[in-house]
């Protein structure tokens, strides 16, 4: 399988020395990837340390897990890749379900803009400092957060926005073929 596991010990040392005094809790993962849990307030500090001191030069994904009805409800997960040292790391944090918010890392990696927008779109997590945090996959007027566990799979009134648009289209169209069918 992956040879990542062979360097896990070295990775952990490097990350520990890069993070220095910032509180982080090491987690064991089923795929052997070095993973750490941090406090939500430490996000920028930890990511900056990982990028500048530990050599993790690219972000792989930013995603969230909804653990409803546990509190804190959301787990936000970041994954990074170091092309220079050929290893990966994942960073987790837990944020509450009421007004979930976490700092943005678009200042460090502009490429996380879409991933954070997607988390906002799907879970409603606010990324503080993200310019242009709007919906990515769902239409702009949509008022639910689909990937939350209390949202049904088939959706709530999925055709509402289309029907409103359709009504406006019929109202302004002079053609019978467009206004009635």
Partner 1 sequence: MSQSTPPGTTRVQGTGATGARTTRTFEYAPGEVDRDDPLHGEFMELNMGPQHPATHGVLRIKVVLDGENMVEVEPVIGYLHRGKEKTCESLGWRKFFVHTDRLDYVQPLMNNCAYAMALEKLGGIPVPERGQTIRVLLMELSRVMAHLIYLGTTSIDLGAVTMFFFTFSERERIYTLLDAYTGHRMNNTYVRIGGMYADIEPEVAREVRKWLDQFPAKIDEFEAMLTGNRIWFDRNRNIGILTVDQCKEWSLTGPNLRAAGMEWDLRKKQPYSGYEHYDFEVPIGTIGDCYDRYAVRVEEMRQSVRICQQALDRLEKTRGAEFISDDRRYVLPPKGLVHSSMEELIHQFKIVTDMALPKGEAYHATESSKGELGFFVASDGTSHPLRCHIRAPGLMNVQAIPVLAEGRLFSDMVSIIGSLDFVMGEVDR
Partner 2 sequence: MGSLKSADGHASDTGFFATQVDWVVNWGRKNSLWPMPLGLSCCGIELMAMIGPKFDIARFGAEAARFSPRQCDLMVVAGTLTWRMAEAARLIYDQMPDPKWVIAMGVCSSSGGMYDSYSVVQGVDMILPVDLYVPGCPPRPDAVIDSILKLQKKIERERPFQLLLEGDVVGEYDSGTKRFLRAPNHAVETTRSHEVLPPSGKKGRA
Give the footprint of partner 1 on this chain (CB under 8 A).
1-4, 29-31, 33, 35, 57-61, 63, 65-67, 77, 79, 81, 83, 86, 88, 90, 109-115, 118, 122, 135-139, 146-147, 149, 151, 153
Look at residues 72, 89, 111, 107 and name the one whose alpha carbon lies nearest to residue 32: 89
Within residues 144-173, the interface with partner 2 by CB under 8 A covers 144, 146, 151-156, 158-159, 161-162, 165-166, 169, 173
- 7 binds, options partner 2, partner 1, none, Cβ within 5 to 8 A by partner type: none
* Dist. CA 151–CA 31, nearest whole Å: 30
Report the first-to-last Cα separation within the chain, whole angstroms: 57
- 134 binds, options partner 1, partner 2, none, Cβ within 5 to 8 A by partner type: none
- 2 binds, options partner 2, partner 1, none, Cβ within 5 to 8 A by partner type: partner 1
74 close to 123: Cβ distance less than 8 angstroms: yes
Look at residues 99, 90, 108 and name the one whose alpha carbon lies nearest to residue 24: 90
């Amino acid at each position: 399988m992956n040879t990542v596991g062979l360097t896990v010990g070295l990775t952990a040392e490097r990350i520990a020395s890069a993070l220095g005094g910032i509180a982080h809790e090491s987690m064991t993962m089923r795929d052997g990837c070095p993973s750490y849990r941090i406090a939500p307030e430490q996000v920028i500090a930890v990511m900056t340390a990982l990028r500048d001191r530990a050599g993790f030069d690219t972000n792989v994904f930013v995603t969230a897990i909804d653990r409803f009805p546990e509190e804190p409800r959301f787990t936000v997960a970041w994954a990074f890749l170091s092309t220079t040292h050929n290893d990966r790391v994942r960073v987790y944090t837990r944020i509450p379900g009421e007004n979930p918010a976490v700092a943005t890392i678009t200042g460090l990696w502009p490429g996380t803009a879409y991933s954070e927008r997607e988390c906002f779109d799907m879970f409603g997590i606010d990324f503080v400092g993200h310019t242009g945090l709007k919906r990515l996959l769902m239409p702009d007027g949509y008022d639910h957060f689909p990937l939350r566990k209390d949202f049904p799979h088939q959706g709530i009134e999925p055709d509402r926005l289309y029907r409103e648009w359709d009504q406006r289209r019929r109202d302004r169209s002079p053609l019978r073929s467009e206004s009635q069918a």
